[in-house]
Structure 1
Amino acid sequence: MKKIVAVFGILAGLINAAIAMLLTTLAGDDMIHANSEWVGYLVMIIALSMIFVGVKQYRDKHLGGVIKFGKAFLVGLYIALVASALYVGSWEVYLQTSDVDFIETYSTSIIENMKAEGEPEAEIQAMQEQLQFYADIYENTFFRILMTLSEILPVGLIIALISAALLRKSSFMPDEENINTQATAT
């Protein structure tokens, strides 16, 4: 199980980091703005699909095509934790090695969007105060890591739950080898 977790966790983390960095490089500051959150979550879902692949491979290659929900969820959780650690680590490296001031760019884009949508000045002022509060928190490395982790880990948990629910059924996407074994057993 350790090898499956390591391989698919690292693969998910690398896919996520590579696609995110590629999109950020290609789109520049536009990719960092608040209106691109859906792209970030789409990238996470694509990368974290490795949870499903890892759990399926563990079920089919190491457990003969049968896995219980709890075991499948644990494998998925461990893959999600490895991928999340790589995601957080790559974000920290990116912040330290680039001249991007993420929190400033993010805050500016939110305020600009609010102004463009004609939001009342009182709401804009309240949002500026809230953004300043988060900017102060974001300066603390520990809290920044927790905030970054809270972006990806819940997505990984959801995918681990879905994968466990689907793959606990040995009839769901059985491996060719396991189909032949089941056919000869009956």
Structure 2
Amino acid sequence: METISDSQAIQNPRPNVTPVKIALKWGLIAGAVMILLSLISYYAGMMQNAAIQWLSYILLALGIFFGVRHHRDKELGGYISFGRGLGTGVLISLFAGILLSAFILLFYGVIDPGALEELKRLQEEGMYEKGMSDEQIDMSLKFVNPGFMAMVTLPMMTFFGFIISLVIAAILKRNKPLFIEERE
């Protein structure tokens, strides 16, 4: 009777493994951490801080990186194609975007509608500083509502996740060798 050694198990991934489960896990983790960052920035009075916005993209990139790497190393036997890595990363960002969109609807629509008024006030100040007319400001502020913000967040997160995933998939790509030596 033959047994499979650990090195053979690593080289032979489980058949029919899809990235959905791991993408859901890492997407929810990335989304939850981004929500936590959002809450901290809101209660610290730094909602319009550009560094906080960049930090949220870094958190998304980390979620994509760890998710794709986990999928490659634990589920695919240490190998992943560029396309599979890209698809996994986009799925992770999609799930993070869904969670963030739901958070936006809940937070600004139900939990703290006053936060939406504060956001409008900050954006209005910024638009006045840029020299926008009252009509332009009024038109822009019509789009500051939980529904529109949630609707924009999902495609935006998925798009930025796609861009980030292009880089991460290229870094983590590891093609399976054509011929693997058999060990006895």
Indicate whether 1:109 and 2:125 are aligned: yes
Paired residue total: 159
In the TM superposition, what is the alpha-carbon distance from 1:183 to its structure 2 partner? 9.9
Q: Which runs of 5+ in 1 are unaligned?
A: 115-122, 172-181
Distance 1:60 1:16 in 2: 25
In the TM superposition, what is the alpha-carbon distance from 1:86 to its structure 2 partner? 0.9
Aligned CA distance change for structure 1 residues 37 and 109 (closer, same or farther; 3 Å): farther
Equivalence for 2:30: 12
Normalised TM-score (structure 2): 0.74
Distance 2:118 2:163 in 1: 27
Equivalence for 2:47: 32
Indicate whether 1:145 and 2:132 are aligned: no
Equivalence for 2:138: 132
Corresponding residue to 1:84 among 83, 89, 97: 97
In the TM superposition, what is the alpha-carbon distance from 1:155 to its structure 2 partner? 2.2
Higher helix share: 1
Equivalence for 1:57: 70
CA RMSD, Structure 1 to Structure 2 (Å)? 2.5
Q: Secondary structure at the match of 2:77?
A: coil
Distance 2:88 2:156 in 1: 20
Equivalence for 2:9: none
C-alpha contact (below 8 Å) 1:59/1:67 kept by paired residues: yes
Normalised TM-score (structure 1): 0.73
Corresponding residue to 1:44 among 30, 39, 57: 57
Q: Which runs of 5+ in 2 are unaligned?
A: 1-18
Q: Secondary structure at the match of 2:143?
A: helix
